[in-house]
Structure 1
Amino acid sequence: MSDWFTSDFPSILAAAFFVGIVVGLTGMGGGALMTPALIFLGVGDTAKIVTADLTAAAIYKTGGAIVHSREGSPNLDLAKWLVLGSVPTALAGPHLLAGVVDPEDVDDVLKMSIGFALLLAAATYALRLYINLRRVRAGGESGDPNPRVRPLPTFLVGALGGLLVGITSVGSGSVIMVALLMLYPGLSAVKLVGTDLVQAVPLVLAAAISNIIVNDGLDMGLTIPLVLGSVPGTIIGSKLAPRVPQSFIRRAIVVVLTMSGVALLDKAGWAPLGVEETHPILIGVIGLIMVVLVPLVWGLLRKEQGLPMFGAPTVAELEDMGYARATPSPPRDGDAP
């Protein structure tokens, strides 16, 4: 029992609570935020952090999946093909990494893999917003709660997502969600979220079990404070969500994911950044550039779609795909009045 309450317990608890609030506020996947936060806190080696994060995620994602199942929102046929693809690769991912990477290099390889996964998560989140923006401009897709399932592409999405999650713990709530949105653009928002949550439970559980086996057990000193902090944080964040302007939070998360990804690549000695020293000034400059460029690029994309650079629809409204179906297509320049 004493091994559970280490000197790092308060910092892990605080980080989990904060990330839980952000997850509750925005619905974004916790792995993309929690794993790098724990790595930068230096509370354990990267493999143990990934294992603990996956185990905690399996617990709180199960609760969300149960809620959505009771409401009848998941598309179970779609979830089935995702699970068939994701679970085997999630189980295989940690064993594959252990089999091809020298044990002395595992920590750096994991940091590098997570760094690239974070950059991918940031890019896919931005892509999701752009897809929804185009949908608003086109007048919205007609919702189809039960689209015709495309088994092979869905299976492949699950397989690639499972491999990513099994190795890095990142991707179950970001990369797979965007792939589903692109494969099934008519799927309603509640169906999309419900389906993603249902498929994520066996995926994350399989990844957690495989990592526990490969990494010789579960570090309870990491896992207990992760669970104790993230669950109440998520509940509080969910209650605060209607009162908080989410557009700024979501843009900030894209910036944070990008900076975290670059910082982990730097920490792992990724060749283009050099292996002799870290580059905190470079990472800070990247963050400042993104703070300026993200709103500007987003405004230009809106303008290209015939919308004002700023204003409605907001980022939060674009996340609600029901908004796209309820909003008439705005006129383009030159359209007849």
Structure 2
Amino acid sequence: MIITPLYSLAGVLVGLLVGLTGVGGGSLMTPLLVLAFGFHPATAVGTDLLYASATKSVGTVVHGWRGTVDWRVVARLAAGSVPATIVTIIALHYAAEKQDMGQAISAILGVTLVLSAVATVFRMRIVGSLTRLFGKIGTARLAWLTVLLGVVLGVLVSITSVGAGALGMTALLILYPSLPINRLVGSDIAHAVPLTLLGGFGHWLLGSVNGTLLFSLLLGSIPGIIVGSLIASRISDRILSPILAAVLALVGLRLLF
């Protein structure tokens, strides 16, 4: 398989930022592929989903080994996201037969990125306000709300490859304030594996996955994530979060306008 160095370099840069900030690669990789490299939005989304499933599988193994995955939360999320992903892929198939979905995907991606930027900057304020508003959630209601969150993430991720990171984590912090953050992070990453794998496979069936691009990105992202993770503790989150949020907001607005 042919390796494209420029795409591998993009993988290194995105992997570095993911390692530094913990934000999902889709928030960075998909708009980069669309705006900088000129890929069709559907191809960018489909390729990024399979790229994410591979990288997050490694993260899930690590979190599972360390015992920082709440499989009950993962199962609830998957109960909503798996059927939602299947329905969304089928809808994309029929919509693609009638018209070019590029503009629609770009618009939804733009909105999702702007919301992700807001969630990144104001996460704790949002969590604090909504946690007080929701109060103590009963067990049955909590389960159904988690399934509903899975449905929303399934739709968003299948269309844009974005949403499971900043938006998903913010929602989990609201629903499960008593769980340690590392268990929520591990659960969010573990849930992203079947979600992105299923979505990526669906896009592959639709013909919107570029194999050369996928391999080149993975080749660069693995060392990037390792380096980013190693130096993350040396850089203040107060510096990284506003910069990352500004980038997400600007890219989201660029896709919209």
Relative to the length of structure 1, the TM-score reads 0.70
Relative contact order, higher structure (CA 8 A, sep 6+):
2
Paired with 1:167 and 1:45, the residues of 2 have a C-alpha distance of: 13
1:57 positional shift: 0.5
Equivalence for 2:43: 48
What amino acid maps onto 2:235 in structure 1?
V
Equivalent positions of 1:188-207 (< 5 A) are: 188-207=180-199
Equivalent positions of 1:44-123 (< 5 A) are: 44-100=39-95, 104-123=99-118
Equivalent positions of 1:176-195 (< 5 A) are: 176-195=168-187
Paired with 1:161 and 1:19, the residues of 2 have a C-alpha distance of: 22
Equivalence for 1:237: 228
What amino acid maps onto 1:17 in structure 2?
V
Tell me, yes or no, if structure 1 residue 23 matches structure 2 residue 10. Answer: no
SS at match of 2:101: helix
What amino acid maps onto 1:243 in structure 2?
R
Equivalent positions of 1:199-238 (< 5 A) are: 199-214=191-206, 216=207, 218-238=209-229
What amino acid maps onto 2:70 in structure 1?
N
What amino acid maps onto 1:22 in structure 2?
L
What amino acid maps onto 2:252 in structure 1?
G
Shifted more, 42-51 versus 26-35: the winner is 42-51
Aligned length: 250
Point out the structure with max Rg over C-alpha. 1
User: Percentage identity across aligned positions?
Assistant: 35
Q: Is this contact kept in 1: 2:44–2:209, CA < 8 A?
A: no
1:35 positional shift: 0.5
SS at match of 1:44: coil
- Give unpaired runs (5+ residues) of structure 2: 133-137
What amino acid maps onto 2:232 in structure 1?
A
Per-residue displacement from partner, 1:171-225 (whole Å, max 9, x unpaired)?
11121111111111111111111111111111111111111112x2631121011
1:38 positional shift: 1.1
Cα distance change on mapping 1:131 and 1:188 into 2, 3 Å: farther
Equivalence for 1:260: 251
Q: Is this contact kept in 1: 2:127–2:170, CA < 8 A?
A: no
Cα distance change on mapping 1:117 and 1:229 into 2, 3 Å: same
- Give unpaired runs (5+ residues) of structure 1: 139-146, 267-337
Relative to the length of structure 2, the TM-score reads 0.90
Q: Which runs of 4+ in 1 moved over 3 A?
A: 100-104, 131-135
1:170 positional shift: 0.2
Bigger share in helix = 2
1:101 positional shift: 5.3
1:97 positional shift: 2.6
Paired with 2:56 and 2:184, the residues of 1 have a C-alpha distance of: 15
Q: Is this contact kept in 1: 2:30–2:45, CA < 8 A?
A: yes
Paired with 1:77 and 1:32, the residues of 2 have a C-alpha distance of: 26
Q: Is this contact kept in 2: 1:92–1:210, CA < 8 A?
A: no
